[in-house]
Amino acid sequence: MPAQTLDAFFRSLTKGAPARAYYFHGPEDLLKDEALRAIIDRVLDPSLRDFNLDQHSAGQLDADSLFALCTTLPMMAERRVVVLREVEALKRKPKVRAALLGYLGRPAPDTVLVLIQGSNEESEDKDLSKAAVAVACEPLPEDRVLEWLDRRAKGLGIELPEDAARHLVRAVGGELASLAAELEKLAALPATEPLTVERVGELVGVRHGETVLDWRDAVLEDRTGPAVRLLGPLLDQPGNSGVKLVTLLGTTLIGVGVARSYHDRRLRGKSLDDAVFALIRRNRVYGLMSWGEEKGRWIRWIPGWPAERVTHALRCVLAADRALKGTTISDERGILIDMVLRMATSRLAAA
């Protein structure tokens, strides 16, 4: 069956009858849960939901019980929904997997089978993708995360200003489960308390201007003093590490290097804008700003980052990464300060 994007899945679900089988895979488990809720709401009457909804871990079923689940008739309803989680476990149960694929060859017309693969399994199951409507649940770019955050906040009765929402995303990261947990905390606050950028920063423990992206920007913009000063508070924040910082910086440097190569091939104006935007969209790198904002930064940084300097900076990043992962060195801040200063020296050499 043809694969669908997540957006196409939601559109098709509202416009027509559901498919007989869906296969959700990818790293964003929360998006899978939202898709499942949409299917259940679309297919089942709330008053009859308990009679027509079955959820199981695929690895706990044998071939006969799986077939019985999928072919049981709905009770006083047009369809029933069967959810099989952790379908990747069936790779270790060939008989059950064969029974599932056999059923998918001739699925029951009154059953909607939802197959959910765990986020720990990175590879898509090609057989399931052929036999069911496959929907990849990938990390969202920042602009889409902000849209998701706005819908989620409104559902909890939270009025979250755009600047506060943007800071929350940059402080916590784009992982939807982490953002959902922070929203639950915000929802517990008194309704009369305004959620400003400063207040959100206090609640998540990351002040405005002290995110990993703020540090990345300081390094790329040759603001060496702020880049060094930010390392202390950044490394004190939960979830941050030296490896995370150098990974972000290395990813950005590669992107800026490619953007600079476009510039060196005399792309200018709209042609350069389109080429850099296409580069970001094509690679869908997780953890950056919205594609439009990121594109603007990369293009703005081009003049200060000729190819030779990008190459030198990437060597600095690689050396820092190796030192951070070494077993004998534990001074993350010192390693990162040395990296930032070496990169600043390369600017003077390139000038």
Amino acid at 290: S
**Where in the chain do CATH 1.10.8.60 domains reside?**
142-204
Classified by CATH at the fold level, domain 212-350 comes out as Zinc Finger, Delta Prime; domain 3 (1.20.272)
* Cα–Cα distance for residue pair 43/77, rounded to 1 Å: 9
Cα separations in angstroms, 70 against 45, 61, 84, 118, 268: 19, 12, 10, 21, 58
Give the dihedral of Cα atoms 331, 335, 338, 343; nearest 10 deg: -160
Kindly tell me the sign of the dihedral angle through the C-alpha atoms of 64, 65, 71, 72: positive
Cβ neighbours around 282 below 10 Å, total? 8
Q: By C-alpha distance, which of 66, 74, 59 is closest to 109?
A: 74
Q: By C-alpha distance, which of 50, 65, 71 is closest to 113?
A: 71
Convert the pLDDT of each residue in 6-50 to its tens digit.
999 999 999 989 999 999 999 999 999 999 999 999 999 999 999
Give the dihedral of Cα atoms 346, 348, 349, 351; nearest 10 deg: 120
The CATH class of 142-204 is mainly alpha
Per-residue pLDDT of the chain (351 residues; tens, 9 = 90+): 789 999 999 999 999 899 999 999 999 999 999 999 999 999 999 999 999 999 999 999 999 999 999 999 999 999 999 999 999 999 999 999 999 999 999 999 999 999 999 999 989 999 999 999 999 999 888 888 999 999 999 999 999 999 999 999 999 888 899 999 999 999 988 877 889 999 999 988 899 999 999 999 999 999 999 999 999 999 999 889 999 999 999 999 999 999 999 999 999 999 999 999 999 989 887 788 888 999 999 999 999 999 999 999 999 999 999 999 986 656 899 999 999 999 998 775 555
159 burial (CB, 10 Å; 0-12 / 13-18 / 19+) is: exposed
Biggest CA–CA distance in the chain, Å, is 77
Q: At CB < 8 A and 24+ separation, what contacts does 209-215 make?
A: 210/234, 210/237, 211/167, 211/170, 211/171, 212/170, 212/240, 212/244, 212/245, 212/248, 213/170, 213/248, 213/288, 213/289, 214/170, 215/245
pLDDT value of position 145: 92
**Where in the chain do CATH 3.40.50.300 domains reside?**
6-136
Cβ neighbours around 208 below 10 Å, total? 18
**Where in the chain do CATH 1.20.272.10 domains reside?**
212-350
Tokens of 64: 């006969």
pLDDT value of position 351: 54
pLDDT value of position 329: 59
pLDDT value of position 141: 85
* Cα–Cα distance for residue pair 60/69, rounded to 1 Å: 13
Tokens of 235: 């490394």
pLDDT value of position 42: 96
The CATH class of 6-136 is alpha beta
Q: Is residue 108 within 8 Å of residue 20, measured between CB atoms?
A: yes
With a pLDDT cut of 70, the percent of the chain lying above it is: 97
Convert the pLDDT of each residue in 291-348 to its tens digit.
899 999 999 999 999 999 999 999 999 999 999 998 665 689 999 999 999 999 877 5
pLDDT value of position 287: 83
pLDDT value of position 37: 97
pLDDT value of position 175: 87
